[in-house]
Amino acid sequence: MSDRPTVTRRPGALRRLLPAIAGHPAAFRGTLLANLVGQLAGLTAAVSGAALVGRAVAGDPTPLGVVTAVLGALVAIVTVVTWWEMYVSHDLAYRVLADLRTRVYDAITRIAPGGLGTRRSGDLATVALSDIETLEWLFAHTIAQLLTATVVLVAGTALAAWIDPWLPAVVLPAAVLVTVTPWLLRRHADRHGSRVRAATAALTADIVDTVQGLRELTVFGALEQRRAHLAARTRQLGRAQRRNAARAGLETALIDALVAAAGVAALLVVLDGVRAGRLDVAAAPVALVLAGAVLGPASQVALLLKEAGTLRAAADRIDALLQAPTPVPAPARPAPAPGGGDVVFDDVHFGYLPDRPVLRGVSFVVRPGETVALVGASGAGKSTCVHLLLRHHDPSAGRITVGGVDLRDLDDADLRRTVTVVPQDVHLFPGSIADNIRLGRPDAADAEVRAAADAAQLTAFLDTLPAAADTPAGERGAALSGGQRARVAVARALLTGAPVLVLDEAAANLDTSTEADLAAAIDATRADRATLVIAHRLSTIDRADRVVLIDGGRVVATGTPEELRERGAWSGLMDPHRVG
Ligand SMILES: Nc1ncnc2c1ncn2[C@@H]1O[C@H](COP(=O)(O)OP(=O)(O)OP(=O)(O)O)[C@@H](O)[C@H]1O
């Protein structure tokens, strides 16, 4: 496969995520303490054991009962402390990961939908689940361990120097070399770690796409082709994982070799010390254990750091989402919700990409109680007007106001109470139909849901269901027909009571009589509501009070449907049934 997935490096990403620990100071202190006690208990057990052996070798053995009691107690302490350390470090890690997951979710909602650009659903899911899970290693097994390993290394070195000054002179440089090895090899670790994370994200995104598109893949006989694609992606991930494992294995072998060489050197120093009379025979086992106490933490640190490439790559991907710019910033001082009034597009300019303007000075008004049809050829900019009215993006120039209030001055909750939409592709969640209708107002009473369903002409259908509105909607509304889904979307929008309603090609997939019924139902509830319809059908245009015709990102004509028809405003645009 040629499209090899990549991760863009973001210097400092890992460092920016570390303060996430600050939210759990008690858990971090507990982890640090448990680690320190665990390391020191291990060191004490090893040194005590070695001292007992040393005394035995020197011909002054400690009574067996005392040896058993001392070593037994130390082993019990180390066992309990190891369990304690595992518990507190994972407790800390999972708390921090939960916080990060919330931050990632907040970031997605902050930048969605306008700022998500070409990001794929599966890629976002990988960040929220797998990349964050990868950081478990950092928070549970790295930070506290690095700090306590340093303490044990310093304590071990001091004790070793006290027993034999030659010992640290041999093992300390080796310990430093072992510790810096992963740092020296970090470029390889970063490259391989990035490839693993990127390949994981690409495979997840493809699997999500495949599951979402199973119907199309089945109908068009493309299942086998898709299977081959996923197999290639899986091989790509496998290759990345094997290369990363080979690199990590090589690093481990290198570190082990350095530790072993340093261990042999320490042994030679101890033997020489005993032969030269510098070291008492009884102290020799203790000296060897202390050499291990210096090398042990160093190799532990090195082995922890060999995962740094994967950690950095996961951190890069999380950081990219957390630091993504906000496409529509919240107002510093929000204006009160307008509660209704004229919807005004005032000389609005906008483009998705630099130097590619889509709207070039669009101006029109939708008054309360009025239905305005937005008409234009495909690609003219109708949906873009809707995206701006829903504030998925802000205009690059000009402004959009409701009741005289610029949309940019409304906080998000007020904006959602002011402008609502019946989209073309209705997304239903797997809860009940009533839950889906309540999406914008979770606290709505049953009677209000029923009234909204009534207004959307959904009641007759609901009455045929075993549990009426409490019947599950199925995965993405699979248990409902297209018309029924559209009616649920209308009920959902009406329940919000928003004074501005956008119908985004809501009727595009419906047959003419269903569309007419639905339009009449929406009309009957309009009162003072301003309604903007993206109209593709002549019947929809004819029902509107006024029409705004857009061409090339500009309003080229406005008037009643009759006026525009007489002027032949859309004669070049439409077939007898559809416009645009
Ligand atoms: N997310 C996007 N990124 C880049 N360009 C976009 C994006 N969305 C739309 N466009 C471009 O903006 C222009 C206007 O698109 P828009 O969807 O507003 O047209 P439309 O009038 O609603 O068309 P249609 O009737 O076919 O739905 C098109 O050229 C389209 O390719």
* Strands of the 500-504 sheet, one edge to the other: 419-422, 500-504, 530-534, 371-376, 546-551, 554-559
Domain boundary among 288, 322, 356: 322
Q: What pLDDT is recorded for position 572? A: 58
Of residues 492, 511, 236, the one with CA closest to residue 503: 492
Q: How far apart are CA 562 and CA 542, in angstroms?
A: 8
Residue 383 alpha carbon to ligand 1 centre in Å: 7
**Residue 135 sits in the same domain as residue 236:** yes
What is the Cα–Cα distance from 339 to 348, expressed in whole angstroms? 23
Nearest CA to ligand 1 atom 20: 379
Ligand 1 and 553: CB distance under 6 A: no
Same domain, 253 and 376: no
State whether 399 and 538 are in the same domain.
yes
397: CA distance to ligand 1 center in Å? 18
Pairing state between β 343-350 and 397-402: antiparallel
The pLDDT, as a whole number, for residue 507 is: 53
* Cβ of 579 below 6 Å from ligand 1: no
Statement to judge: residues 393 and 525 lie in one domain: yes
Q: Is the CB of 351 under 6 A from ligand 1?
A: no
| Distances 27 to 86, 89, 95, 427 between C-alpha atoms, Å | 12, 8, 9, 41
Q: Are residues 380 and 300 in the same domain?
A: no
Instruction: Provide the pLDDT for residue 271.
Output: 93
The CA distance from 118 to 121, in Å, is: 10
- For residues 269 and 349, membership in a common domain is answered with no
Q: Does some domain include residue 524?
A: yes
* Ligand 1 closest atom vs CA 376: 21
Q: Are residues 545 and 417 in the same domain?
A: yes
Report the separation in Å between the CA atom of 180 and the middle of ligand 1, taken as the mean of its atom positions.
53
Residue nearest to atom 26 of ligand 1 (CA): 378
Task: Indicate the residue among 293, 322, 351 that finishes a domain.
Answer: 322
Determine the structural domain holding residue 279 and report its residue range: 14-322
CA distance 26 to 82: 19
- Residue 135 in domain: yes
Residues 357 and 290 in one domain: no
- Residue with the smallest CA separation from ligand 1 atom 9 is 384
379 lines ligand 1 (CB under 6 A): yes
Angle between helices 186-212 and 308-322 (to 10 degrees): 50
- C-beta 213 within 6 A of ligand 1: no
Q: What is the pLDDT of residue 102?
A: 93
Residue nearest atom 27 of ligand 1, based on CA coordinates: 378
Amino acid at 462: L
* Cβ of 362 less than 6 Å from ligand 1: no
- Closest to 310 in 3D by CA, of 141, 140, 138, 149: 138
Q: Say if 264 falls within a structural domain.
A: yes
Q: Are residues 318 and 347 in the same domain?
A: no
Judgement on whether residues 264 and 365 belong to the same structural domain of the protein: no
Please give the number of the atom of ligand 1 that sits closest to the Cα of 553.
14
Question: pLDDT (tens digit, 0 to 9) for every residue of the chain, 580 residues total?
Answer: 446 677 677 888 888 998 888 899 999 999 999 999 988 888 888 888 899 888 888 888 888 888 889 889 988 998 999 999 999 999 999 999 999 999 999 998 888 777 777 777 788 888 888 889 988 888 888 888 888 888 888 888 898 899 888 899 888 898 889 988 888 888 899 899 899 999 998 999 899 889 888 988 998 888 999 999 999 999 999 999 999 999 999 999 999 999 999 999 999 999 999 999 888 888 999 999 999 888 888 888 888 787 888 888 899 989 988 988 888 888 999 999 998 899 999 999 999 988 899 999 999 999 999 999 999 988 899 999 999 999 999 999 999 999 999 999 999 999 999 999 998 888 888 888 999 999 989 999 999 999 999 988 888 888 888 888 888 887 666 678 888 888 899 999 999 999 999 988 655 566 777 777 778 888 888 888 999 999 888 888 888 999 999 998 999 999 999 988 888 766 655 544 444 4
378/425 same-domain check:
yes
Residue 526, in any domain of the structure: yes
> Is 386 within a domain?
yes
Q: Is the CB of 339 under 6 A from ligand 1?
A: no
For residue 379, the CA-to-ligand 1 centroid distance in Å is 5
Task: Name the residue of 382, 393, 424 to mutate for ligand 1: max ligand atoms within 8 A of Cβ.
Answer: 382
If we measure between CA atoms, which residue out of 420, 356, 361 comes closest to residue 391? 420
Q: Whose CA is nearest to atom 19 of ligand 1?
A: 379
* pLDDT value of position 576: 43
Contact 567, 558 (CB under 8 A): no
Q: Whose CA is nearest to atom 12 of ligand 1?
A: 358
pLDDT at 297: 82
Task: Indicate if ligand 1 lies below 6 Å from the C-beta of 113.
Answer: no
181 ligand 1 Cβ < 6 A: no
Edge-to-edge strand order for the sheet containing 359-366? 359-366, 343-350, 397-402, 405-406
Instruction: Report if residue 576 sits inside a domain.
Output: no
Within-domain flag for 332: no
Ligand 1 in reach of 384 Cβ (< 6 A)? yes
Q: CA-based angle 564:570:574, to the nearest 5? A: 135
* Closest atom of ligand 1 to CA, residue 387: 18
Q: How many domains does the chain have?
A: 2
| Residue having the nearest C-alpha atom to atom 5 of ligand 1 | 352
What amino acid occupies position 515?
A: E
Which CATH number is 434's domain given?
Answer: 3.40.50.300
ipTM entry: 0.97
Is the alpha carbon torsion for 248, 250, 256, 261 positive or negative?
negative
**Cβ distance 356 to 553 under 8 Å?**
no
Q: Do 269 and 395 fall into the same domain?
A: no
**CATH number for the domain including 315?**
1.20.1560.10
Beta strands 371-376 and 546-551, pairing class:
parallel
| Burial readout 446-479 (b: 16 or more C-beta within 10 A, e: otherwise) | eebbbbbbbbbbbbebbeeeeebbebbbeeebeb
User: Atom 13, ligand 1: which residue's CA is nearest?
Assistant: 379
Q: Is residue 374 part of a domain?
A: yes
Cα gap 362→345, rounded to integer Å: 6
CA of 382 from ligand 1 middle (Å) equals 8
Pocket test for ligand 1, best of 352, 362, 396, 509 (most atoms within 8 A of CB): 352
Q: Is 353 in the pocket of ligand 1 (CB under 6 A)?
A: yes
Q: For residue 334, say if its preceding peptide bond is cis, omega within 30 degrees of 0.
A: no
